[in-house]
Amino acid sequence: MIRRTKIIDALQRTDYGTDITVMGWVRSKRASKGIFFIALNDGSTIKNVQIVGDDAKFDPAMLKLITTGACLSVEGKLVESPAAGQASEIQAVGIEVLGTCDADYPMQKKGQSFEYMRQHAHMRLRTNTFGAVMRIRHNMAMAIHTYFHQHGYFYFNTPLITASDCEGAGQMFQVTTKNLYDLKKNEQGSIIYDDDFFGKQTSLTVSGQLEGELGATALGAIYTFGPTFRAENSNTPRHLAEFWMIEPEIAFMDLDDLMDLEEDFIKYCVRWALDNCGDDLEFLNKMVDKGLLERLQGVLGETFVRLPYTEGIEILQEALRSGKKKFEFPCEWGDDLASEHERYLVEEHFRKPVIMTHYPKKIKSFYMKIDEELPVYEGKEMEQTVQGTDVLFPQIGEIIGGSVREEHYDKLMNEIKERHIPMKDMWWYLDTRRFGTCPHAGFGLGFERLILFVTGMQNIRDVIPFPRTPKNAEF
């Protein structure tokens, strides 16, 4: 059997004269004066290995099959390369075409638009850019598991199918085995679910947090890392209908601990990328975003700003008053901030990541811990705030949404009632507050938002292999 050498390893070897076999896909082929040059890539690295051969020594019919996209097995001698920018190349002795490539190969031409690539998402993985993004994506997954493992968190798997709709009412995908052509309804016209697969209405989860809290209040510290689904019809470069979320949840953690964790964790991931994805980052820095490496390095050097919402509003209002800035959406105290506001604070005012805290209760989720003190804005006491923490990043906006959780049963029930949250299927969640409740906190990081930041890509559809967005589930 032939022993295949991965191209990433072949390029590092200096035992010139050795016979090796590499396999991969042709990126390009050119010929000059009876010699051919093939750039071969096997996905192990962004770098191609150069294959050099003498036309005369090969079957012309076989050589004709070596076109961009074709798959080859090449046996040859590892030699020192005379060409700049590569230490070694392979002098071909034998070439087998494992797979020819039809002329309509969609990745034939270089420099296609990202929109074109999305329409050929099944083949775009073969390009330099998507290869780089996918290798970085893998590395970020490793960084995340390593970080939590080393800090004593347990990887905890929460269900994808859920019967609770308290968080995502209206933006959940339903899961059913019912015959949609023949739906039984009751006298009020509502669909009967008793005879559905789970005997009740179920959906795909929008977050693993509520089950994560059960894990944290037993194991001390857990994290989830899995797919989440949101049927929100927001066609933006930062939203997917199916995305991956990382949700650590920790017992006995307060607001300051939480912000420390968020900052330390993101910096760890960025450092991991810089330490382990050098070639891919350099490529992206050259081809996609010239400021990328500087921005990544910058984040490591910065201390994130910790900014109470009320102070944030003061800054935004001051920017408006002084005429420094115009916003499309209002930002009065009490308003939910739009991405233009978040980006102004991060990119123009502070020029570093911001962790915003102490949001008005009414724009945040029911489970967030209510602050003891009322905020003062323009000399007046305002409404209650909660201990939420949104981590805001340059280019991205919100990358993390977290909070300290309300651990008091009565206060939590109050919120649930005030907000008319359907809690009939949530008795198990409330039990955490009845049986040995404890202070705890956690956050959700959108995996693809992290990849956006680390790769410098502009559109979230381009950092996941097969994006799911409204009207798009082709591949």
Distance CA 467, CA 121 (A): 9
d(CA 49, CA 88): 8
**Sign of the alpha-carbon dihedral angle for 254, 260, 261, 263:** positive
340 contributes a contact to ligand ATP by CB under 6 A: no
What is the crossing angle of helices 278-287 and 292-301, to 10°?
120
Looking at beta carbons only, is 278 or 470 nearer to ligand ATP?
Answer: 470
Closest to 337 in 3D by CA, of 407, 394, 397:
397
Q: How far is the C-alpha of 36 from the C-alpha of 29, rounded, in Å?
A: 7
399 binds, among ligand ATP, Mn ion, none (CB under 5 to 8 A by kind): ligand ATP
**Residue whose C-alpha is closest to residue 44's, from 5, 79, 86, 92:** 5
Reading the block at residue 319, the tokens are 């920017």
Smallest distance from ligand ATP to CB 262, Å: 11
Binding residues among 223-262 for ligand ATP as defined by CB under 6 A: 230, 239-240, 243, 245
Nearer residue to ligand ATP within complex by CB, 21 or 339: 339
Binding residues for ligand ATP, how many (CB under 6 A)? 14
Counting contacts by CB under 6 A, is residue 400 touching ligand ATP?
A: yes
By CB under 6 A, is residue 444 in contact with ligand ATP?
A: yes
Work out whether the CA dihedral 13, 19, 25, 28 comes out positive or negative.
positive
- Amino acid making up residue 462: D
| Helix (H) or strand (E) run with residue 174 in it | strand 174-175
For ligand ATP, the closer CB: 69 or 212: 212
The site map against Mn ion for 392-411 (x = CB under 5 A) is ---------x----------
Residue 442 interacting with Mn ion (CB under 5 A): no
Nearer to Mn ion, 360 or 401 (CB): 401
Q: Are strands 154-155 and 221-229 parallel, antiparallel or unpaired?
A: parallel
| Residue 251: strand, helix, or coil | strand
Tell me which of Mn ion, ligand ATP, none is bound by residue 400, counting a contact when its beta carbon lies within the kind-specific cut-off of 5 to 8 angstroms: ligand ATP
| Residue number, 230 or 405, with CB nearest to ligand ATP | 230
User: Which entry of Mn ion, ligand ATP, none binds 406, CB below 5 to 8 A by partner kind?
Assistant: none
Interface positions, 111-140, toward Mn ion (CB under 5 A):
none
Q: Which is nearer to Mn ion, 46 or 206 (CB)?
A: 206
The entry of Mn ion, ligand ATP, none near residue 245 (CB within 5 to 8 angstroms by kind) is ligand ATP
Q: Which one, 76 or 401, has the nearer CB to Mn ion?
A: 401
Instruction: Report in angstroms how near the CB of residue 356 gets to Mn ion at its nearest.
Output: 10
Place of tokens 């009632």: 417
Q: What is the DSSP string of 80-131?
A: E--STT-SEEEEEEEEEEEE---TT-TT-SSS--HHHHHHTHHHHTTSHHHH
Q: Give min distance, CB of 338 to ligand ATP, in A.
A: 9
Q: Which of 401, 442, 456, 467 binds ligand ATP (CB under 6 A)?
A: 401
152: left (phi over 0), alpha (psi -120 to 50) or beta: left
| Count of positions (residues) in the chain | 475
Distance of alpha carbon 228 from the chain centroid:
12
Draw the binding track, 360-399, toward ligand ATP (x: CB under 6 A; -: no contact). --------------------------------------xx
What is the pattern of x (binds ligand ATP, CB under 6 A) and - over residues 52-71? Answer: --------------------
The item of Mn ion, ligand ATP, none sharing an interface with residue 221, based on CB under 5 to 8 Å by kind, is none
Our finding on whether 208 is near ligand ATP (CB under 6 A) is no
442 binds ligand ATP (CB under 6 A): no
Closer CB to Mn ion, residue 394 or residue 401? Answer: 401
Which residues does residue 242 pair with via DSSP β-bridges, in sequence order? 229
Smallest distance, Mn ion to C-beta of residue 401, A? 3
Residue nearest to Mn ion (CB): 401
Contact between 120 and 465 under an 8 Å Cβ cutoff? The reply is no
CA 222 to mean position of chain CA atoms: 19
Tokens for 255, please give them.
Answer: 């607001």
d(CA 32, CA 29): 10
* Residue number with CB closer to ligand ATP (24 or 360): 360
Count CA atoms within 13 Å of residue 320 on its CB side: 14
| Binding partner of 135, given ligand ATP, Mn ion, none, CB within 5-8 angstroms per partner class | none
Contacts of 127 (CB under 8 A, 6+ apart): 107, 117
Nearest distance, CB of residue 122 and ligand ATP, angstroms: 22
Name the binder of 66 from ligand ATP, Mn ion, none, CB < 5-8 A by kind. none
Give, in order, the Cα–Cα distances in Å from 282 to each of 267, 274, 320.
19, 10, 39
Task: Report the nearest approach of Mn ion to the CB of residue 71 (Å).
Answer: 44
Q: Which residues bind ligand ATP (CB under 6 A)?
A: 230, 239-240, 243, 245, 398-401, 444-446, 448-449
Q: Which residues bind Mn ion (CB under 5 A)?
A: 401
